[in-house]
Amino acid sequence: MTNILVAGGAGYIGSHTCLDLFGKGYTPVVFDNLSNGHAEFVKWGPLEVGDIRDRDRLDQVLAKYKPLAIIHFAAAIEVGESMRNPGAYYENNVAGTITLLRAAQAAGIDKIVFSSTCATYGIPTSIPMDEKHAQQPINPYGRSKLMVEDILRDLDRCQGFRSVILRYFNAAGADPEGRIGEWHTPETHAIPIALDASLGRRPHFQVLGTDYETRDGSCVRDFVHVLDLADAHTRAVEHLLSQGSSCALNLGTGTGTTVKELLDVVRRVVGKDFEIKYGPRREGDSPALVADNSLALRTIGWSTRHDLNSIIETAWRWHANHLPA
Ligand SMILES: NC(=O)c1ccc[n+]([C@@H]2O[C@H](COP(=O)([O-])OP(=O)(O)OC[C@H]3O[C@@H](n4cnc5c(N)ncnc54)[C@H](O)[C@@H]3O)[C@@H](O)[C@H]2O)c1
């Protein structure tokens, strides 16, 4: 039996992880309410439509597939929306996760890989940030993820329920074969928005903040290829299956790119210019987020294989050919 339950597996990072799991001999069983996922992204195993807040549905699916472990992507993911409606974020991301964990425990499953985020760190006091950096999130989205991290640490300490917490930096890029890609509604991520601008689907790209204390005044982010993230999830599952202990790992490249530098790469890869406007900072954004990824290398043997060019090229291929105009 090689089933792995992938909660949120019809979404962007989850679907790429299913591709990676399948390639390594596992059967990804996707559990997703399709609130922001796509049934057509579920290509490498069965889709069970359901909500992680629905305990009965979870019990049915866990009994049917008896997964070895769970990978948990299912969440509401927008920082801005979390500032407008924090209760919805705590309900989906925290209460939903508690229901999922209770169902897992009742089904005798004691291993989970959890999608956390660099947003749990808040404003960096040092760059790059390692996993010991203080976690002081500056928005409800980041706080919802930190709450789940705390719950997982307690479950390990008190009950031996093991977890790998993966703190992603900025996920980007797409399957090079163009079968799946980044498709959020609404889209709030910089690369798809820039690609939309270059395709004329948006009038311009808005740089949010030009007065940060960074090398050109725009925010610094660490863009990591979704295929590298997917590989880390399979490694994390295998770490747990081979009795590895619980841990929290940063997943980033270790290289920071400013938003303005990112736009230069987009223009070069796409070969088109587009209008850029400069606006004020967005509340809840951190000035710079760059990973120290050395613990992931030491713990699960993970390092990145794709650079920013490959990220933009694969994202462009997907975006130009597959997304509805
Ligand atoms: N995209 C990034 O750069 C990034 C960075 C850091 C962390 N993360 C985290 O990674 C995970 C995946 O992000 P993504 O970009 O793939 O987002 P996504 O929206 O594409 O995927 C999330 C999936 O979860 C599903 N979902 C949401 N609530 C659910 C619920 N209650 N029950 C069942 N399914 C539910 C959605 O339908 C969607 O398919 C999220 O937990 C997110 O917080 C993403």
Angle at 278 between CA 273 and CA 284, to 5 degrees: 120
Question: Do 10 and 47 touch, CB atoms closer than 8 A?
Answer: yes
Angle at 97 between CA 9 and CA 153, to 5 degrees: 115
SS3 content of the chain, % helix, strand, coil (to 5): 40, 20, 40
Q: Check pocket membership of 53 for ligand 1, CB cut-off 6 A.
A: yes
Q: Which residues contact 23 (CB under 8 A, 6 or more apart)?
A: none
Pocket mutation for ligand 1, best pick of 18, 29, 32 (most atoms within 8 Å of C-beta): 32
CA of 8 to the centre of ligand 1 (A): 6
CA of 11 to the centre of ligand 1 (A): 6
Using CA positions, which residue lies closest to atom 43 of ligand 1? 77
Q: Which of 170, 133, 138 is nearest to 292 (CA)?
A: 133
Domain of residue 34, residue span: 2-169+226-251
Residue 81 lies in a domain: yes
SS3 22: helix
Residue 125 lies in a domain: yes
Residue 188 lies in a domain: no
Q: Check pocket membership of 34 for ligand 1, CB cut-off 6 A.
A: yes
Residue 8 lies in a domain: yes
Residues labelled catalytic: 141
If one counts every other C-beta atom within 10 angstroms of the C-beta of residue 325, the result is 6
Q: Which residues contact 35 (CB under 8 A, 6 or more apart)?
A: none
Q: Check pocket membership of 55 for ligand 1, CB cut-off 6 A.
A: no
Q: Are strands 47-49 and 205-208 parallel, antiparallel or unpaired?
A: unpaired
The pair of three-digit structure tokens given for residue 159, joined into one six-digit string: 């009950």
Q: What is the CATH number of the domain that holds 65?
A: 3.40.50.720
Residue 91 lies in a domain: yes
Residue 205 lies in a domain: no
Atom of ligand 1 nearest to the CA of 183: 20
Q: Identify residue 102 by its one-letter amino acid code.
A: R
Position 322 scores a pLDDT of 80
If one counts every other C-beta atom within 10 angstroms of the C-beta of residue 57, the result is 18
Question: What whole-number distance in Å separates Cα of residue 135 and Cα of residue 58?
Answer: 31
Question: What whole-number distance in Å separates Cα of residue 38 and Cα of residue 32?
Answer: 9
Using CA positions, which residue lies closest to atom 26 of ligand 1? 74
Residue 55 lies in a domain: yes
Angle at 113 between CA 163 and CA 45, to 5 degrees: 145
Using CA positions, which residue lies closest to atom 11 of ligand 1? 73
CA of 213 to the centre of ligand 1 (A): 30
Residue 122 lies in a domain: yes
Total domains in the chain come to 1
- pTM (2 d.p.): 0.97
pLDDT in tens, the chain (325 residues): 799 999 999 999 999 999 999 999 999 999 999 999 999 999 999 999 999 999 999 999 999 999 999 999 999 999 889 999 999 999 999 999 999 999 999 999 999 999 999 999 998 999 999 999 999 999 999 999 999 999 999 999 999 999 999 999 999 999 999 999 999 888 889 999 999 999 899 999 999 999 999 999 999 999 999 999 999 999 999 999 999 999 999 999 999 999 999 999 999 999 999 999 999 998 778 899 999 999 999 999 999 999 999 999 999 999 988 866 6
Position 283 scores a pLDDT of 78
Question: What whole-number distance in Å separates Cα of residue 108 and Cα of residue 110?
Answer: 6
